[in-house]
Structures are given as C-alpha cells and as structure tokens.
Amino acid sequence: MDLLPDLWKQEYWLPPGVTWKDMEQLADSNRPQPQDLLVALPLSLGFVALRHAFERFLAPPLCRCFGVKKRSQSAAGPFPQLEVFYSQRSSHPTQKEIASLMLLCGKTQRQVEMWFRRRRNQDRPCQTKKFGEAAWRFFFYLTAFVAGLFSLIDRPWFWDHRECWRQYPFQPLERAHFWYYMLELGFYFSLLLRISVDIKRKDFMQQVIHHLATIILLSFSYCANYVRIGTLILLLHDSSDILLESAKMFHYGTGWKKTCDSLFIVFSVVFLVTRLVIFPSKLIRATLLLSMEVFEPFAGYYFFNILLLVLQVLHIFWAGLILRMVFKFLKGKLEKDERSDEESVAEEEEEDNSEDDNLDQSRDCYWEKTQPCPASPASESLDSERKKSPP
C-alpha cells in the first residue's frame, strides 16, 4: 500500500531542492500533472476505431491508385490430419514428420510439402493489408510531424537546446504541446493494443520494446516536466518514419519501383543522420550534459537517460538492417524489406520453386480433389518423432 506514495517522492521526479509544493507556483493549467496521462487512454481507443475506418473505407481506393494487387493463392485442400499438425505442432515439418504424414494420408512427399507450402501462403498477410497498415502510419506521422514542427519552430529551445533547461522545472506547459504529447502517447498505446493482429515482422520483439520504452519515456518526461526536450525527440523520430512508411506504400504498389528506390535512399540518409548523429550528439547530449548546467543529477535524470540509451541501441539495430538493405540495393538485389513478415523466407523458396510447381502441375492436380484422409491413432506416434530442426 505504501508503494504509490513512495513512487511519487519528489526526490525521484524533481531536482534536488525542489518540492511538489514549489511546483504549485505554476497555474494548474500550465503544470503537467500525472492524472493528465489518463487522456491518452480514450485517445488510444479512438485511434483504434479511426484506423479501422481508415483501413476499411480509405485504404481500398488508395490501393487501387497505387496499383496494389492481391496475390492469388491456391487454397490448401481440406485434410484434417495435416491441418491439426499445422495448427498445433509446426508449419514447417521435419523430414521424419513428413514421412509419417505420408503414411497417415497416403500421399507422396511432394504432395505433403506442397500442402504445407500452400497452407503457409494462406496465413501470409496480403499486400492490401500491408499497404493499409503502412498508409495509416504514414498519415499519422505526417500529421504529427507537421503539427509538431508548426508548434515548435518559433520556440527558442528548437534552436538552442540550453533553453530546454532554462528555469527548469518551473516551465509553463503550452496547450499545443500538451495535445502533441497526448496524441503521440495515445497513438503508441493504440499500436500496443493492435500488436497481436498487426503484421508480425522479424523485429517483433524490438518493436514491442520500442513501443514500451516510448510510452514510458513520454509518461515520465511529462510528469517530470521534460516536455521541451520530449517534443524535440518526438519530432526527430517522426521525420524519418514518414519516409519509411511512404516507401513501403510505393513498394507494395505496381509500377512505382523508381519512386520506391528514391524514397528508400532518402529515408536511409535521413534515418542514419537523425538517429545515429543528431539524436546522440544533440538530444542525448542536451539531457546528459547541458541539463547539469542547471541542476544536479537525480533519480529521474538517470532513469530518463537510460531509456534514451535503450532507444539508441534500437536505432543501431535498425541501422544495421538498413545498411544491409543499402548494400543489397547497390548490388541490385534488393527485393524486400529486411523487416518483412516472417513468411518472407518461405516466400523466396516458393518463388524459386515456382518453375517446378508448373512442371509438376499435371501430376499433382488431383491433390485438391482427393478425399481427406481418415483420422488415425497413428498420429500419436508423431510426438516421439518430433525433433527440433530449423525450417
């Protein structure tokens, strides 16, 4: 029960010598208060509803404008034994498991492998879903960046980062920056709410860590009145995210290769400059060093800077992926996003084997018409044969 009072100790949130009572010299409307963060919760639900409407009504006509095509896929046949194995065991059976499944269903190895390939394709997100997700994020980041830039460009701390700490923590909160914070916080909450149904990419865990770190950063910096430096961090991140999502939109379309390549080059440069140069040399420097010209370090100072360093580690991770894509691009082999959905590797294998599929089509065409194999107790034996092996 004493945890909450301890959490709000002024030693954690405010510089030495400053108390919560001292903060009352600011008017209530000009002072960040913890209960203000509750505004982000209904905003996050509003973003979820708005995104649903966007993807349902606006994304389809945009798909047609960009020439996004829904990939035609052959449906896997209705075979209960294979479906149970796929859903409960693995989507990539080992060779021993394929041999057992052949005995259960009376099919050839080729037919069993083809069934699993088609079944995996059914679960892969279609291009229209990917495009809708990218378009939604593009419009949000663009709106947030323009609004943030408009509210900050004439503020002294936008140009001189020492101004972020002048008279700290007694800095009045402007309403424009309050809503900038709440909308960004609500948006990242909405991303967490949707993370289970969004496209699962290779950097799924890094994305979860990024969203959580961002939410904690926004919440803490608001309560501790780090709003000035916080708005600059938000603006910096949104600048490259706009280019990333727009490049994805053109990538999913048809006939936009040159536009996509150009946007990818611009995005790569902006990301590397903003995340690996400006962010550590300007913003982290402002929080680590320039802030100490005004106050001595305290618990909140260390906590905030540790979270910024976590973000910087993620930036380095993503920069590695981008540089790998740049290398492939220069070699003329860039065909997909390094962060693409998990089935991308299988997709490459399936495309490599498409020629074989066409050659064997006459031999395997009866697969769809064959009656489902009967249930058999022999499936129990698969458990003893299961071995861990890479797909």
Of the candidates 49, 311, 34, 35, the one whose C-alpha atom is nearest the C-alpha of residue 190 is 49
Alpha-carbon distance of 356 to 13, in angstroms, equals 65
Q: Which residues of the chain have pLDDT under 50?
A: 1-3, 341-391
Of the candidates 227, 212, 210, the one whose C-alpha atom is nearest the C-alpha of residue 275 is 210
pTM above 0.85, yes or no: no
pLDDT at 333: 57
Contact yes or no for 101/85 (Cβ under 8 A): yes
Q: Between vectors from CA 359 to CA 357 and to CA 364, what angle results, nearest 5°?
A: 65
Q: What is the pLDDT of residues 160-195, one digit of tens each?
A: 999 999 999 999 999 999 999 999 999 999 999 998
How far does CA 169 lie from the centroid of its chain? 33
pLDDT at 352: 38
pLDDT at 72: 62
pLDDT at 371: 40
Q: What is the pLDDT of residues 93-129, one digit of tens each?
A: 888 888 888 888 888 888 888 888 888 877 777 889 8
* Structure-derived torsion over alpha carbons of residues 255, 259, 260, 265, reported in degrees to the nearest 10: 160
pLDDT at 236: 96
pLDDT at 113: 87
* Tokens 């990538």, located at residue: 251
